């Protein structure tokens, strides 16, 4: 099993360009997440999904859109990139198991995005 796979790993965008980050998981997890990581800020939740066809806003959703058309995929879109969106983006997935519920999150390798 590959776990959680993110593509691309690196990208440089010009201000105003658009792009889509793809996250794929092969663990049949219900929950998927997109985070951004900036120095000193930890991991901030952008959007998340609790199942196929559903999405919800996280802590910092502005400027991003997401879609979960298939259970195994979670796409993060930037419609008009801004320098403030320069960051490392992590996708994660999790499922509920056991009692009490354990929701261990499995992370992808990250996408380093630079907006110039």
Partner 1 sequence: GQQVMQIPQYQHVQEGEDFTTYCNSSTTLSNIQWYKQRPGGHPVFLIQLVKSGEVKKQKRLTFQFGEAKKNSSLHITATQTTDVGTYFCARNTGGFKTIFGAGTRLFVKA
Using CB under 8 A, list all residues that contact partner 1.
31, 33, 35, 40-45, 48, 50, 56, 58-59, 90, 92, 94, 96, 100-110
Q: Which is nearer to partner 1, 3 or 16 (CB)?
A: 3
**74 token code pair:** 């979670």
Q: Which is nearer to partner 1, 6 or 85 (CB)?
A: 6
User: What CA–CA distance (Å, rounded) separates 109 from 24?
Assistant: 12
Q: Which is nearer to partner 1, 12 or 50 (CB)?
A: 50
Evaluate whether 76 touches 46 at the Cβ level (below 8 Å): yes
Task: Give least dist CB 18 to partner 1, A.
Answer: 25
Task: Give least dist CB 107 to partner 1, A.
Answer: 4
User: What CA–CA distance (Å, rounded) separates 76 from 47?
Assistant: 8
Q: Which is nearer to partner 1, 17 or 43 (CB)?
A: 43
Kindly give the residue spans of alpha helices, DSSP state H, lying in the chain: none
Q: What is the dihedral of CA 36, 59, 79, 3, to 10 degrees?
A: 50
């Amino acid at each position: 099993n590959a776990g959680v796979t993110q593509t691309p790993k690196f990208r440089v965008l010009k201000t105003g360009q658009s792009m889509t980050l793809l996250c794929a998981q092969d663990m049949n997890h219900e929950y998927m997440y997109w985070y951004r990581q900036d120095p000193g800020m930890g991991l901030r939740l952008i959007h998340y999904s609790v199942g196929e066809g559903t999405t919800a806003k996280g802590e910092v959703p502005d400027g991003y859109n997401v879609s979960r058309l298939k259970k195994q995929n979670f796409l993060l879109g930037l419609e008009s990139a801004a320098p403030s969106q320069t960051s490392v983006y992590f996708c994660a997935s999790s499922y509920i198991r056991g009692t009490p519920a354990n929701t261990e999150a499995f992370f992808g390798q990250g996408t380093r995005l630079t907006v110039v």
